[in-house]
Amino acid sequence: MWSILILVILSILSYLVTDELIPKLKDLFIKAGLYGVDLCKNNNKKIPEAIGVISGCVFLVTSFIFIPTVFGNDLIERELFPHNEFAELLAALLSICCMLLLGFADDVLDLKWRYKLLLPTVASLPLLVVYYVNFNSTTFVIPIPFRQWLGVSINIGFLYYVYMGMLAVFCTNAINILAGINGLEVGQAIVIAASIIIFDIIELRGDQFKAHTFSLHIMIPYLATTLALMKHNWYPSKVFVGDTFCYVSGMTFAVVGILSHFSKTVLLFFLPQIMNFIYSVPQLFHIIPCPRHCLPKYSAEMDLLQASRTVIAKKDLTFFRKIIVQVLTILRLIDKVEDKESITINNLTLINLVLIKLGPMSEDRLTVTLLALQCCCTLLAFLIRYPMASYFYET
């Protein structure tokens, strides 16, 4: 356990370094043309973009420096060195490093969608090989109520690897689409990271303590550097985090979920992201017209954010579109205004949904509301994972 103590000290240092580096380096980003304007503010200040690359690099460097400590005792007796665990850590860092590169390239070059889907899949390949040689458990345990039909467990074989590859793609993109207001990307990542750390600490006394120690080795420095990033990204943002941050975060969560065998629990922590993804599907796949930005609309007079809207001309109202609008109306998930020629609905994002349910609010209150929702989902996840799990699985 003393290795965790060293890690905490290293992580505090990495927090301080990140906090120091961000204001020092941010002019370099503006000079390189990496900046944006905050669409929810009254001014046109240039705000540096892609600053997630700084916290990501410090996170990686901290993990590198920590390697000799992780294997401290094993380094003395080299015959017993756990090469498989070392390969696990290296594969994890390799996948994260790849996403850092891809994210930064995306921020600089504005890559096409196909690369965004293809490259995380490739980046997760070393991870899958490690999983194959170290575990290769491709079995899902079936919840008790369904066992009469499906048996105790089901081995999905190769499909399990497809599932893990898709998990990496999903996690990297899910954070990226629940974004757009100050502090939200970083805030949700902090809540998820903290949830995973709490879960690890609870499970440290269980028989999977090795897997959970591994998870802590990755999550603690991640959380520290992300907290430093938060300090500069909180409302009103002095820096933007960019796709870089979302990609690195998503991959970090996926890596930990896969290699520590609790990918289903990680998905429980991703509930708001999953809801947002499902809710956004009609616009993501352009079934319903999607404007360039689905951000909430900033009203300068009130200094409040309102849900942004999209217009569907009635002549373009295909059967499929009509069904979707009707279902969403019945579920009370959209705010619809109809006139003779067109239907106007809010853009389908969780952020806009909160705004139509709770009314216009200021940007920081909106972020806090969404993060509170994220925390509630974590509580729900723990409820499902612990008290309720006994209904579904033997404990």
* Residues binding its own copies (CB under 8 A): 25, 28-29, 31-34, 53, 57, 60-61, 64-65, 67-68, 71, 74-75, 78, 81, 83-84, 86-87, 90-91, 93-94, 97-98, 100-101, 104-105, 108-111, 119, 122-123, 125-126, 129-130, 132-133, 136
Q: Smaller CB distance to its own copies: residue 246 or 351?
A: 246
| Closest to its own copies by CB, 111 or 373 | 111
CB atoms within 10 A of CB 247: 32
Nearer to its own copies, 13 or 87 (CB): 87
- We find the least distance from the C-beta atom of residue 336 to its own copies, in angstroms, to be 39
What minimum distance in Å lies between the beta carbon of 44 and its own copies? 20
By DSSP bridging, strand 297-299 and strand 304-306 are antiparallel
Three-state secondary-structure class, residue 47:
strand
Burial of 336 (0-12, 13-18, 19+ CB in 10 A): middle
CB of 105 to its own copies, least distance (A): 7
**Closer CB to its own copies, residue 117 or residue 198?**
117
For the chain, helix (H) and strand (E) counts, in that order, are 17, 9
Find, among 346, 360, 335, the residue nearest to 311 by Cα: 346
**Residues 263, 111 contacting (CB under 8 angstroms):** no
- Residue 236: cis peptide before it, omega within 30 degrees of 0: yes
Report the amino acid identity of residue 54.
Answer: I
Nearby residues of 261 by Cβ (< 8 Å), 6 or more positions away: 135, 137, 208, 211
Closest distance of CB 113 from its own copies, Å: 14
**26 vs 309, which CB is nearer to its own copies?**
26
Closest separation in Å from C-beta 344 to its own copies:
34
Q: Which is nearer to its own copies, 29 or 170 (CB)?
A: 29
Burial letters for 36-50: b for 16+ Cβ neighbours within 10 Å, e otherwise? Answer: eebebbeeeeebbbb
Q: Are strands 35-36 and 304-306 parallel, antiparallel or unpaired?
A: unpaired
| Buried/exposed code over 298-329 (b: 16+ C-beta within 10 A; e: otherwise) | beeeeebbbbbbbebeeeeeeeebeebbeebe
The residue (of 122 and 202) whose beta carbon lies closer to its own copies is 122
> CB of 251 within 8 A of CB of 205?
no
What 3 state SS string does 273-297 have? HHHHHHHHHHHHCCCCCCCCCCCCE
- Residue closer to its own copies by CB (options 84, 139) is 84
Residue 6 beta carbon to its own copies: minimum distance, rounded to whole angstroms: 16
Name all contacts of 313-318 with Cβ < 8 Å and 24+ positions apart.
313/341, 313/342, 314/340, 314/341, 314/342, 314/343, 316/289, 317/343
Query: What's the closest the beta carbon of residue 57 comes to its own copies, in angstroms?
Result: 8
Q: Both tokens of residue 169?
A: 């793609």
**Nearer Cβ to its own copies (129/379):** 129
Which residue, 105 or 166, is less far from its own copies as judged by CB?
A: 105
As measured in angstroms, the least distance from the Cβ of 123 to its own copies is 8
Say which DSSP state 268 is in. H
Query: Minimum Å distance from CB 178 to its own copies?
Result: 26
| Cβ at position 368, least distance to its own copies in Å | 33
Query: Where does the chain show beta strands of DSSP type E?
Result: 35-36, 47-48, 139-141, 153-155, 297-299, 304-306, 309-313, 336-338, 342-346
